[in-house]
C-alpha cells in the first residue's frame, strides 16, 4: 500500500475532504483527530494492517507521517 492510499484511508477515518491531509501536518492541529478517531485508528490498524496499536503509541505520534510510518513500517 502506498503513502497516498494510507492518506486517503486516514481522510476517510477523520471524515475529512479528499487531499486535505499531508504527511507533515501536526496531529494536534487536526480538529477531527479526537478520541473516537483514535479508537477507530486502533481498529483500522489491526483490521487493515495487521498491527496492534495502543492508545499510548497514538499519544506519541506528532505528525500524520508518524501514523503512516507505523502502519506501513
pLDDT (mean) for 27-53: 95
pLDDT class of 55 with cuts at 50, 70, 90: very high
Q: In angstroms, how far apart are the furthest CA atoms of the chain? A: 28
pTM of the model: 0.91
Contact 23, 7 (CB under 8 A): yes
Q: What is the pLDDT of residue 66?
A: 97
Q: Exposed, middle or buried: residue 64 (CB in 10 Å: 0-12, 13-18, 19+)?
A: buried
Q: What is the pLDDT of residue 31?
A: 92
10/4 Cα distance (integer angstroms):
10
Over the range 15-39, which residues count as b (16 or more CB within 10 Å of their CB) and which as e?
A: ebeeeebeeeeebeebeebeeebbe
pLDDT (mean) for 18-30: 95
pLDDT (mean) for 23-50: 95
Amino acid at each position: 500500500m502506498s503513502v497516498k492510499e494510507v492518506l486517503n484511508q486516514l481522510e476517510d477515518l477523520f471524515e475529512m475532504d479528499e487531499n486535505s491531509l499531508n504527511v507533515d501536518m501536526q496531529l494536534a492541529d487536526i480538529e477531527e483527530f479526537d478520541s473516537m478517531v483514535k479508537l477507530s485508528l486502533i481498529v483500522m490498524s489491526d483490521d487493515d494492517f495487521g498491527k496492534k496499536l495502543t492508545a499510548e503509541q497514538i499519544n506519541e505520534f506528532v505528525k500524520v507521517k508518524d501514523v503512516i510510518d507505523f502502519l506501513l513500517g
